[in-house]
Amino acid sequence: MTETVETLKSSLDAATDPEADTGPDLTSPELYFNRELSHLQFNVRVLNQVEDESHPLLNRLMFACIFSSNMDEFFEIRVAGLKQQIKYGRESIGPDGMAPQQVLEQIAAEAHVHVERQYALLNDVLLPALEAEGIHFLRRSEWTEAQRAWIENYFENEVRPVINPIGLDPSHPFPRLVNKSLNFITELEGKDAFGRENGLAIVPAPRSLPRLVKLPEEVAENGTCLVFLSSIIHEFAEQLFPGMTVKGMYQFRITRNADLVLEEDDMEDLAQALRGELLSRRFGDAVRLEIADNCPQELEQFLLDEFGLKPHECYRVAGPVNLARLMAVPGLVNRPDLLYPAFTPGLPPGLKQKDSLFGQIARQDFLLLHPYQSFSPVVDLLRQAARDPDVLAIRQTLYRTGSNSEIVAALVDAARRGKEVTAVIELRARFDEESNLELASRLQEAGVIVVYGVVGYKTHCKLIHIVRREKGKLKGYAHLGTGNYHAGNARLYTDYSLLTADKTICEDVNRIFQQLTGMSKVMKIRKLLHAPFTLHSGLIRKIEREAEHAQRGKPAFIRVKVNSLTEPKIIQALYRASQAGVQIDLIVRGICCLRPGVPGVSENIRVRSVVGRFLEHTRVYWFHNDGKDEVYCSSADWMVRNLLRRVEVGFPVEDKKLSERIQVELEAHLKDNQLSWMLHEDGLYEKLEPGPDEAAFNVQQFLLNALAAS
């Protein structure tokens, strides 16, 4: 107690001494990177994979598609949000000190450069490489007579019946075009049947048609021949305007604000309110225009005026305006030799799927690292619970899944067998809202109790709680994860799953479900860190504890792996820990607002991003704690929304072997020199390469070799 009082007195004297050196101001904007610009940098790291010849050719094409998809969402949500702030006079200045207009200007400057580079990579690198492999994207000038005849027949039978050109005149105003839909602005010459001579029309491409058409073998030559729908429409455009001459036809796409705004204070039914808002997503304010690079300037300006956009919000592209649609290519060409080799996910020692999972989990905890290890034990646990007569109740959170998933089928089966099944469905999972509404309806029809969490707080934690009667007593089983209950994602995203019968953890999980489904005061949670209540403060205390150890001359380090790091109080705690001498390694896949390597502030902090075959999605926190290491996995990134505005869980991995395994896997990420990018003080990321005497090390391949079955 005396030591504490003396410490307080010393701190008070230092704080009130005008000549005392209080050190750098940890809230200074110079110590923070802008959130949106950091997000853009992550998208660029994805684009950089296109140039990396260590990836198979079709996977390099997929990285170009992922970059397009990521940029779509970036404009739909992040850029749209900045524009909304300006529109309504609600500008918010972040810790970096940049105003929304400044951020938008820098985004535009950088995004134009990267989009131009993306199309250069497509045209100069990917398409020639695919051509050499017998995969041909045929231009109209390259069609043979036989190919043209087949394509024209396709147009007459598949395209023309569902296409609907719209002439522009006083009785035909500019149509409301759906977000991210493919359209053509068309210049016409002549008079139509009614004598109209306006000269402009819009041709929306039917969304029901594929954007890539594979020619049949009888007309394809020397491999696989693919034709863009845009080329087909362009070639036969005059058939859409009989008697008129098509002077020019140029594809374009508009990106709109797709963020949903729900006035939760006035809401009576979340599901009903959400259904009403989903339609508005398709027709939100325009934020970006993409247009063919050969479009005349006057038509570009016409479209900009129509959508209320400025010239810097237009992106001229040398190719299809929606490269994300090229995701269909691997399924059309059947070339597994141009993709990553397939593998069979493994199972941890001691976990035998043929035996009762309840008996195995009762004996020991199991930790799964997807996709290297199978997601099927999670599904099988629910299946067994549905059929087991001793299981009384099943509770589960659902954030992103699918209405036809095996997880959902197991819950439906359990409800139909008379179990008490409760599903906490987060309807507001971005871009999965419609799917989750359908999911809720299906579960309710089967007799599942469906709740939508807590208004104002997204339910993002990944939890299953199963109650089973054993020897006359009730026993709990739990699954806690860092990722979604989506079997498809579990083959692409790296995530941890913990299967446990630990009594305290199961009781904690049960209390969280009680808070989500009922009305109660904050319950005491003993082992789990629980947002929005204890996760944020608990993390700061653990960071500060590490700083105290360092100040006492003890070894102190923190190793963290998250998708994003933006929360200012966490960043300031890390800065203080660095100043105290704590060695801090951060593996941050995407957004990072912390500036590493600043003398006197963050010279003990290193930040890297790992981008590879699998999307890094695990969230892991490792605190050395004076040799009594604490390891937590979590559903939460270190962001304001996750730590303060969502229902999240951080769960300890207490089994010594499992904890040590996670530590080894984190160390492996820190050894990687094939997929890693180091963040420097100036905000630039540097791709790591093996040194002269250093062996190449790919962490994802290492984990595949160590954990996968084959």
Whether omega before 371 lies within 30 degrees of 0, making that bond cis, reads: yes
Catalytic residue among 136, 234, 370, 460: 460
Using CA atoms in the order 296, 299, 304, 306, what is the torsion angle rounded to 10 degrees? -170
**CB of 699 closer than 8 Å to CB of 675:** yes
CA-CA distance, 499 to 478, in Å (whole number)?
A: 6
- Asked if residue 692 has a cis previous peptide bond (ω within 30° of 0), the answer is no
Residues in contact with 173: Cβ distance below 8 Å, sequence separation at least 6, in sequence order: none
Angle between helix axes 535-551 and 568-580 (nearest 10 degrees) is: 10
Q: CA dihedral defined by 143, 144, 150, 156, rounded to 10 degrees?
A: 50
* pLDDT in the model for residue 19: 47
Following CA atoms 28, 30, 35, 36 in sequence, which dihedral angle do they give, to the nearest 10 degrees? 130
253: nearest Cα among 322, 312, 300, 189: 322
pLDDT for res 434: 72
3-state SS class at 252: strand
Question: 656-671 and 699-707 are packed helices; what angle lies between their axes, rounded to 10 degrees?
Answer: 150
* Phi/psi of residue 64, nearest 5 degrees: -65, -40
* Per-residue confidence (pLDDT) for residue 350, from 0 to 100: 84
Say if residues 393 and 382 touch (Cβ distance below 8 Å). no
Per-residue pLDDT tens for 611-626? 999 999 999 999 999 9
Sign of CA dihedral 267, 270, 272, 276: positive
pLDDT confidence of residue 281: 53
Helix (H, G, I), strand (E, B) or coil at 200: strand
Instruction: For the chain, give the number of residues.
Output: 710
Return the bridge partners of 561, or none: 587, 620
What residues are paired with 686 via a beta bridge? 678
**CATH annotation of 357-526:** 3.30.870.10
Least confident of 86-95, 357-366, 464-473, 644-653: 86-95
Per-residue confidence at 447, pLDDT binned at 50, 70, 90?
A: very high
pLDDT in tens, 508-542: 999 999 999 887 677 889 999 999 999 999 999 99
pLDDT at 390 > cutoff 80: yes
Average pLDDT of every residue of the chain = 91
Q: pLDDT band at residue 388, thresholds of 50, 70 and 90? A: very high
Q: Could you give the CA distance from residue 290 to residue 296 in angstroms, rounded to a whole number?
A: 14
**Architecture category of domain 530-707 in CATH:** 2-Layer Sandwich (3.30)
Helix locations, 607-695, DSSP H: 640-644, 656-671
Predicted local confidence at residue 681, as pLDDT? 97
CA distance 355 to 598: 54
DSSP output for 43-102:
HHHHHHGGG-TTS-HHHHHHHHHHHHHHHHHIIIIIIHHHHHHHHTT-----TT---HHH
pLDDT of residue 6: 52
Distance CA 68, CA 74 (A): 10
The predicted structure's pLDDT at residue 89: 87
Per domain, the residue ranges of the chain are 165-210+229-330, 357-526, 530-707
Please name every residue paired with 346 in a beta bridge, in sequence order, or none if there are none: 373
For position 221, what pLDDT does the model report?
82
Looking at residue 300, its pLDDT comes to: 97
Q: CA 673, CA 663: separation in Å to the nearest integer? A: 18
Contacts of residue 111, Cβ cutoff 8 Å, sequence gap at least 6: 40, 71, 315
Instruction: Tell me phi and psi for residue 133, to 5 degrees.
Output: -95, 10
Contacts of residue 659, Cβ cutoff 8 Å, sequence gap at least 6: 629, 631, 653
Residue 50 above 60 pLDDT? yes
| Upper half-sphere CA count for residue 627 (Cβ side, 13 Å) | 1
For residue 616, what are the β-bridge partners?
A: 494
Most distant pair of Cα atoms in the chain: their distance: 97
- Nearest in space to 366 (alpha carbons), one of 501, 487, 489, 493: 501
- Across the range 145-160, mean pLDDT stands at 96
Tokens of 93: 């200045």
Residue 258 has pLDDT above 90, yes or no: no
SS3 track for 359-373: HHHHHCCEEEEECCE
Using DSSP's 3-state secondary structure scheme, residue 381 falls into helix
Convert 424-450 to b/e letters by CB count within 10 Å (16 or more is b): bbbbbbeebbebbbebbebbeebebeb
Residue predicted with more confidence, 590 or 259: 590
Q: Which pLDDT score, from 0 to 100, does residue 85 have?
A: 92
Interval 174-178 mean pLDDT? 90
Q: How confident is the model at residue 399 (pLDDT cuts 50, 70, 90)?
A: confident
- In this prediction, residue 518 carries a pLDDT of 83
Show the beta-strand stretches assigned E in 534-588.
557-562, 583-588
- Give the pLDDT confidence score for residue 303 in this predicted structure: 97
Q: Which amino acid, one-letter code, is at 518? A: G
What confidence score (pLDDT) does residue 275 get? 53
Q: State the pLDDT at residue 326.
A: 95
Residue among 373, 430, 374, 434 nearest 406 (CA): 374
Q: Verify whether residue 460 is a known catalytic residue.
A: yes
Q: Measuring CA to CA, which residue among 221, 90, 84, 213 is closest to residue 152?
A: 213
Given a cut of 90, whether residue 501 has pLDDT beyond it is yes
Q: What is the pLDDT averaged over residues 454-473? A: 93
The per-residue pLDDT for range 112-145, each reduced to its tens digit, is: 999 999 999 999 999 999 999 999 999 999 999 9
pLDDT value at residue 18 = 45
Whole-number Cα distances in Å, 127 to 60, 119, 286, 293 = 11, 10, 31, 18
For residue 253, what pLDDT is reported?
96
C-alpha distance from residue 45 to each of 42, 52, 65, 108, 484 (Å): 5, 11, 13, 18, 24
pLDDT value of residue 331:
95
- The per-residue pLDDT for 355 is 77
Domain 357-526 and domain 530-707, same fold? Reply is: yes
Q: Give the range among 10-19, 184-193, 225-234 with minimum mean pLDDT.
A: 10-19
